[in-house]
């Protein structure tokens, strides 16, 4: 039986070196320990180079503390020491890890570690040795978990806590190595069982995400392009950094005009860093049937075929067809801002959408109600970046480029300040998805 402190330190050093020596496979870790295993945090924090991987360590020792960490309603369904509670802790921890990273490229490498256990205590537990559950979850959905049982009357409390911490760090290594890392028992009388590794990456993440949303399993799914932009990766949670931009649309299909406006808007929205841009596609519609998952998958693939995606870009699938629903849902996904002035959620919209937002007929024909609703959005950090468009149709003699300035002129100054108009010099692309669809239809059937 090896010295427990030494194997704890060795595991911690190995975990750090795996990250520091292979920069192409980073890891950003938040730990949540309930019960025993807290030595994992101190061991990792005292390892040179730990800042490359460690974001946060939390010991939620009291049940109420644990409930606060995971969100009490879910935890109330399970025992304090259980596989389900460890998974909930890991899921909450990976959410926190994502919130601490502003770069979307870091999201798939965020890891949450959840540990819940019942170790030696001053209270007697006849016939029951110490045991616990460990779960490591990555933001791309991969997960490694196990149940641990310690031989009774073999160790003191500190030793059990150290050993639980060592096995917890080993779980992270297992996750990084796709469940193929070696894991050994400190004593043959110990138990490591119910070992599970789940590789949640699917061949068509957009299709699967659409099915989940339409089935009511979740309200939103965030998809991020993989490194070579050949496919999407679904995140466990739709986390939006503060000062993000959301571009709502049907994207049928997405085209260079969408991306050009998105890039111009991103450049203007934040001067200090690259603004994340999320293309938001609602699968449900107030006036039309819901989108078919196959159609969602096809539109998602079209995004990946475009050459000018914003530097930080994601596809956000939702079930929020109305603008009020979008604001409510998306603000709840935002990372808390360190500086209150940084809490901004920008929407990229066209002049047609701006007109609808400012049209009193959608507010019981009341200008006062309209202004109140728009100001309420402003209070939660909503701003708008407006791109002009060429208006043409049967009732328009000559196509006219509409910038949006006229619609704002009569509004109060505080409401005007919520809208940033992109000038015609900055953005004008006279193409539309409907035109692309018509051209594609003619190419397929010239008689149309």
pLDDT score, position 391: 67
- Model-level pTM? 0.89
pLDDT tens, residue by residue, 121-160: 876 655 678 999 999 999 999 999 999 999 988 899 999 9
Q: List the one residue out of 154, 181, 158, 153 whose CA is nearest residue 43.
A: 158
pLDDT score, position 183: 79
Q: List the one residue out of 40, 116, 38, 119 whose CA is nearest residue 83.
A: 116
Residues of the chain with pLDDT under 70: 1-2, 72-73, 123-127, 271-272, 338-343, 391-398, 430-448
Taken in order 36, 41, 42, 43, the sign of the CA dihedral is: positive
pLDDT score, position 269: 85
Instruction: Decide: 234 and 221 in contact? Cβ < 8 Å.
Output: yes
pLDDT score, position 434: 67
Q: List the one residue out of 345, 358, 425 whose CA is nearest residue 385.
A: 345
pLDDT score, position 24: 75
pLDDT score, position 271: 66
Crossing angle for the helix pair 83-99 and 63-70, nearest 10 degrees? 50
Q: How far apart are CA 27 and CA 172, in angstroms?
A: 10
Q: How far apart are CA 187 and CA 128, in angstroms?
A: 17
pLDDT score, position 423: 85
Q: How far apart are CA 133 and CA 86, in angstroms?
A: 6
pLDDT score, position 309: 92
pLDDT score, position 398: 66
CA distance to 25, 162, 164, 230, 251, per residue, from 303 (Å): 25, 48, 45, 10, 9
């Amino acid at each position: 039986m090896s010295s427990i402190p030494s194997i704890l330190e060795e595991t911690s050093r190995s975990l750090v070196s795996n990250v520091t020596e292979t920069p192409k496979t980073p890891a950003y870790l938040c730990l949540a320990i309930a019960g025993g295993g807290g030595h994992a945090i101190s061991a990792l924090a005292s390892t040179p180079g730990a800042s490359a991987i460690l974001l946060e360590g939390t010991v939620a020792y009291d049940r109420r503390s644990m409930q606060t960490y995971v969100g009490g309603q879910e935890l109330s369904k399970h025992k304090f020491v259980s596989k389900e509670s460890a998974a909930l802790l890991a899921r909450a921890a990976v959410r926190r890890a994502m919130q601490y990273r502003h770069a979307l490229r870091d999201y798939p490498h965020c890891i949450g570690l959840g540990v819940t256990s019942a170790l030696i205590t001053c209270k007697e537990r006849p016939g029951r040795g110490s045991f616990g559950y460990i779960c490591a979850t990555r933001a791309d959905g991969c997960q490694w978990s196990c149940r641990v049982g310690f031989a009774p009357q073999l160790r003191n409390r500190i030793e059990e806590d150290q050993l639980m911490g060592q096995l917890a760090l080993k779980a992270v290594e297992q996750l990084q190595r796709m469940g193929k890392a070696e894991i050994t028992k400190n004593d043959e009388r110990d138990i490591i069982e119910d070992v599970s590794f789940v590789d949640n990456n699917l061949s068509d993440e957009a299709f699967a995400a659409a099915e989940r949303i339409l089935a009511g399993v979740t309200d939103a799914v965030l998809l991020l392009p993989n490194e070579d932009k050949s496919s999407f990766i679904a995140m466990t949670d739709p986390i939006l950094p503060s000062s993000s931009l959301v571009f709502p649309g049907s994207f049928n299909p997405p085209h260079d005009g969408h991306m050009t406006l998105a890039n111009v808007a991103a450049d203007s929205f934040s001067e200090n860093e690259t603004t994340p841009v999320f293309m938001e596609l609602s699968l449900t519609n107030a006036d039309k049937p819901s989108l078919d998952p196959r159609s969602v998958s096809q539109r998602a693939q079209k995004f990946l075929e475009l050459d000018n995606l914003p530097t930080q870009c994601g596809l956000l699938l939702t079930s929020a067809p109305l603008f009020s629903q979008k604001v409510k849902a998306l603000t709840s996904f935002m990372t808390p801002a360190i500086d209150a002035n940084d809490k901004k959620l920008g929407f990229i919209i066209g002049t047609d959408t701006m007109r609808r937002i400012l049209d009193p007929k959608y507010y019981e024909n009341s200008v006062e109600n309209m202004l109140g609703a728009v100001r309420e959005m402003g209070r939660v950090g909503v701003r708008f970046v407006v791109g002009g468009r060429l208006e043409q149709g049967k009732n328009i003699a000559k196509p006219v480029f509409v910038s949006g300035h006229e619609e704002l002129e009569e509004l109060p100054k505080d409401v005007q300040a919520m809208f940033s108009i992109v000038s015609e010099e900055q953005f004008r692309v006279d193409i539309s998805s409907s035109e692309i669809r018509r051209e594609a239809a003619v190419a397929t059937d010239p008689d149309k």
